[in-house]
Chain A
Amino acid sequence: MMDEPSLQDRIAQAVVDLGAWLETMRQPGGYGGPVAHWWQNRFQYTGPGLDWRYEGILIGYATLHEKTGDAAWRGRLDVAADDVIAGQRPDGSYRASRFEMNPDTLGTPHEAAATHGLLAAQPHLSNGEKAVEVARRNLDNLVEKLWDGRGFNDRPGVSGRVPNKLATLAHALMCYVRLTGDGGYLPYAKAALDDVLRYQMAQGPNVGAVHQYAPGGAAGDGRFFPYYNARCVPALVLGADLLGDERYLEAARGIKSFLDGTMHHDGSWPQIVYVNGRRAAWPRWLAGTADILLAYGSLGEAMPDVALRRLLDSQLPSGGFRTATGFQAQIRQAAPSAADYRDVVPVVGWNDKALRLLATMLPSPTTLPAPETAATELPVTVGAAPALFRESPEAMELRIGHEAAYAWDKHAPWATTANGQVNVR
């Protein structure tokens, strides 16, 4: 066990180092950088993404401002909020909002997550009224494009339910209601949360787990992601309170049981537990683990210490957190022998989750230390080739021998070099 003062000091240092790293990832229009994810990767497009990264950034900065009273955090918060506000398109959607499928628009759950960030941070914003207006236009557009009369689809005109995305959307809708007192969105939030419950396992070895996807809105797809299950919890907890329905809280507790039962001894979780009992054991999230820990916190439960320790240990000298372990094993699902480049490259849209969690864990009021960051240099693999990952405040690169497999100037919306082995989507 880490003793409490040491843990608090460690979190305080981690959060300021992470804040310093995030500043290096800014470019005109917002926070950029490559994306590694389970579904796809984006290493060539490195421009701003107005996606779920803004949920954690906005909430994290607002929390840091609240707890420290330091105007610098408010300054960063206002700049981040202005990214989202300025990036709203005429129809209410956000520019480049599909994260691992950027650049594209109408990203789910990404637009709802960014809007949730705006609404949650709104009391701390200089431009708060505008933020509410932008949030409303975004939510109106999501309803217009995705509502099919009974629930929300994942893509316009394509029938299907994705429970974790519905939870994020419900969270944003409920935040709007709570902030403005306008209850017009409540029936939509309730429908979204009811769909989460509909795809939760009521019995069997995966009791409490929620299916990832229900094509056609029919049966679930038999994939249970611990990470995405955790993403449902904060919205269900809020829904139980705002909608006065204890079923949502019971569902959140059921998910927590699933998380308890699937955590490995080292504080990691498998990527997927399948209904047939098999698993996609790899990759296992690092920075993203923060959302799982946040789920425990939102239920008022103690976070698994080993998982928190694993998260903190994954911070790089740059201040960014590693993405995962085991991308190398994504296809074969045999234990990885080395770190894949996608494991190590820090991604803003995962680090925002760490920022939000760690800011939440700080005492209030608090004083933060100065950041202590340095350049990162680590051995990785690109495909089968040994490579070297380097990151400075100005650039990221992957070198195989003397050859640049990847090069990105952090001010550029496109990588200078992304060879065929790195640019795998």
Chain B
Amino acid sequence: MVVEIHVRELAGFPDISGAHELSWSYILDAVFADAYHAGVDRLTCTLPTKALATAVQLRADLTQVVERPAGGTAVAELTGGAPPVELPDRLYALSFGAAAPRRLRAGPTVRPAMALSTSLSVFTLPARLWGVPLRLFAALRRPDLYDRASFAMRRDFARTDHVPAYYHLSVWSRE
């Protein structure tokens, strides 16, 4: 898959580590899995940090390994920005939710003239709340409880419906 990467650095955007590294694995995998099965062969991707560029390029390289009928175009607007004027076959739009800092939530609400295909809430509020017992168990030097809590956090980390979360990804297709 041919990918064209743009970066629009967002002030206050977190480092891609820990929960955010996990979040972006969900987000980028959702984008590329959908694009692959939708027959997309050209993706224009706008990222909130250049730290994600390598991860995007790697997925594009791996996705083009398999030759299959394709021809669609897609746009991944992953900075919370507005959709493009000229609508592609698939649009991947990221917005920042209630669990994100206020200044990241300042962008416009994305309502393209397309059909909503799927959505994904990532780094949900319940997952964030697991951070409290995780810190407690670490302070108490209870690695056994820490491990169990970390898997509970992981279970709650992403949802395919719209729940309070740091990130929301919506996938749109031409109506």
Contacts and interface: CB of A to CB of B under 8 A. Distances in A.
Same complex = yes
Interface of A: 27-29, 40, 44-45, 47-48, 95-96, 101, 103-105, 221-223, 272, 274-276, 278-280, 330-333, 411-416, 418-420, 423-425
Nearest to B63: A413
26 contacts: A27-B65, A27-B66, A29-B62, A29-B65, A44-B29, A48-B65, A95-B58, A101-B25, A103-B59, A104-B55, A221-B143, A222-B141, A222-B143, A223-B143, A274-B144, A276-B144, A279-B144, A331-B148, A412-B37, A412-B66, A413-B65, A414-B29, A414-B36, A416-B37, A418-B33, A424-B157
Contact of B62 (A96, A221, A415, A423): A96
A425 B28 CA distance: 14
Given A44-B30, A280-B147, A420 B159 contact: yes
Interface string B58-72: 110111011100000
Task: Specify the main secondary structure of chain A where it touches its partner.
Answer: loop
Given A95-B58, A272-B147, A424 B154 contact: yes
Contact of A414 (B22, B26, B37, B158): B37
B58 A104 contact: yes
B133 to A, nearest CB: 12
Contact of B58 (A44, A105, A330): A105
Interface residues of B, number: 33
A47 B62 contact: yes
Interface in B7-27: 22, 25-26
A333 B152 CA distance: 12
Nearest to B32: A414
Contact of B33 (A44, A48, A105): A44
B58 A420 contact: no
A47 B36 CA distance: 12
Contact of B65 (A47, A101, A222, A275): A47
B148 A95 contact: no
Contacts of B26: 423, 425
A423 B147 CA distance: 19
Contacts of A330: 148, 151
B30 A331 contact: no
A72 B59 CA distance: 32
Contact of A103 (B62, B147, B160): B62
B155 interface: yes
Contact of B151 (A95, A223, A278, A331): A331
Nearest to A28: B65
Contact of B155 (A28, A331, A414): A331
Nearest to A419: B160
Given A44-B33, A104-B55, A332-B148, 15 more contacts: A28-B67, A48-B65, A95-B62, A105-B58, A221-B143, A223-B143, A330-B148, A331-B152, A413-B62, A413-B63, A414-B37, A416-B37, A420-B160, A425-B22, A425-B157
Contact of B158 (A101, A332, A415, A420): A420
B143 A274 contact: yes
B174 interface: no
A93 to B, nearest CB: 11
B142 interface: yes
Contacts of A425: 22, 25-26, 154, 157-158
B155 to A, nearest CB: 6
A414 B33 contact: yes
A101 B22 CA distance: 9
A162 B62 CA distance: 29
Contacts of A45: 29, 33, 62
Contacts of B62: 29, 45, 47-48, 95-96, 103, 413
A235 to B, nearest CB: 25
Contacts of A48: 62, 65
Nearest to B121: A420
Contacts of B30: 44
Contacts of A272: 144, 147
B168 to A, nearest CB: 14
Interface in B56-86: 58-59, 61-63, 65-67
A96 B147 CA distance: 26
